[in-house]
Structure 1
Amino acid sequence: MTDTTHELTVTRLIDAPREAVWRAWTDHGEEWLCPRPWRAEVLEMDLRSGGASRMMFHGPDGEAMPLQGVYLEVRPGERVVSTDALDPDWRPHGPFMVRVDEFADEGGGTRYTATARHWTAEARAQHEAMGFEAGWGASADQLAEVAKRLAAGGA
């Protein structure tokens, strides 16, 4: 049995085929990655094991929050594992979590699950207090909106 003590998870059953959800996740990150009124700017998304992830989240009052990390595992249409424990140059830095995004067919739609795995109970509690449920939940809902639009033939 897997120890989930230090995990936080959101899951959604999205009324869209997995390929539309995957396309929304990979090609439309700026539309869903952070909850509105914040916006995401995807600077680099080298979606392969060892590839770099660099983003900037912009707040409504001019805030700028840089995020960077490395993709550890990429199984297209199924699973992406990334971490902020390493920067794209393989230098360790202030680890906060390992992120796991999973996509599975379910009932004509897609079960999307995003999990944040933390090193300690304190880091998990800090992330929860920052508004994990509301923030990641809103992002998952925004992902669903984009996937449904794509599934309906939208761009």
Structure 2
Amino acid sequence: MSGTAAHELSVTRLIDAPVAAVWRAWTEHLGEWFCPVPWRAEVSVMELHPGGRSAMTMYGPNGESMPLEGVYLEVVPQRRIVSTDAFTAGWMPAGPMMVRIDEFAEEDGRTRYTATARHWTAEAKAQHEAMGFEAGWTTSAAQLASVAERLAKSD
């Protein structure tokens, strides 16, 4: 296992919707699926191109507020989105947790969706696991699937 893979967490899900619908759910309906209910996310900025800004706030059921900001490193429509919280807009260094990679692959008319978190250190990976990575990201992937499947039926 490479050093990067040693610090990687990932979830995958086969979604019963074409890649175009999953891409649309990810890019146009992120607030509906990004964090497990009863949490919710509000997207304030999504500049979906390399160097573009990503800004949102996650809100918890007890009044919690967690702002998230970063930049997109790579965007390949209907294939891959790579982002990081290591920088904010204008390439200002920030206290990084990870690089996030979202991949969309066609599989017999459905979509193999994989979300990966790459951490700088084993400690950061362990912290993310302790925060509930597996349950949280698996739930979010299920919510993404639900939105994408709904969109596919309405197309």
Task: Write out per-residue CA displacement over residues 119-151 of structure 1, whole angstroms, 9 at most, x where no aligned residue.
Answer: 000000000010000001110000000000000
The whole-number CA distance in structure 1 between the counterparts of 2:26 and 2:89 is 20
CA shift for structure 1 position 93? 1.0
**Residues 134-145 of structure 1: pairs in structure 2 closer than 5 A:** 134-145=135-146
The whole-number CA distance in structure 1 between the counterparts of 2:107 and 2:6 is 26
Structure 1 match to 2:104:
103
Ranges in structure 1 where 5+ consecutive residues have no aligned partner? none
CA shift for structure 1 position 89? 2.4
Is 1:66 the equivalent of 2:67? Answer: yes
The whole-number CA distance in structure 2 between the counterparts of 1:81 and 1:148 is 23
Give the secondary-structure state (helix, strand or coil) at the position aligned to 1:89. helix
Task: Write out per-residue CA displacement over residues 18-64 of structure 1, whole angstroms, 9 at most, x where no aligned residue.
Answer: 00000000000010011100000000000000000000000001110
Percent of aligned pairs with the same amino acid: 68
Structure 2 match to 1:14:
15
CA shift for structure 1 position 107? 2.2
Q: Which runs of 4+ in 1 moved over 2 A?
A: none
Is 1:45 the equivalent of 2:16? Answer: no
Query: How many pairs align?
Result: 154
Ranges in structure 2 where 5+ consecutive residues have no aligned partner? none
Give the secondary-structure state (helix, strand or coil) at the position aligned to 2:90. coil
Give the secondary-structure state (helix, strand or coil) at the position aligned to 1:49. coil
CA shift for structure 1 position 75? 0.3
**In proportion to residue count, which structure has more helix?**
2
Give the secondary-structure state (helix, strand or coil) at the position aligned to 2:5. coil
TM-score w.r.t. structure 2 length?
A: 0.97
Is 1:90 the equivalent of 2:129? Answer: no
TM-score w.r.t. structure 1 length?
A: 0.97
Q: Give the aligned CA root-mean-square deviation in angstroms.
A: 1.1
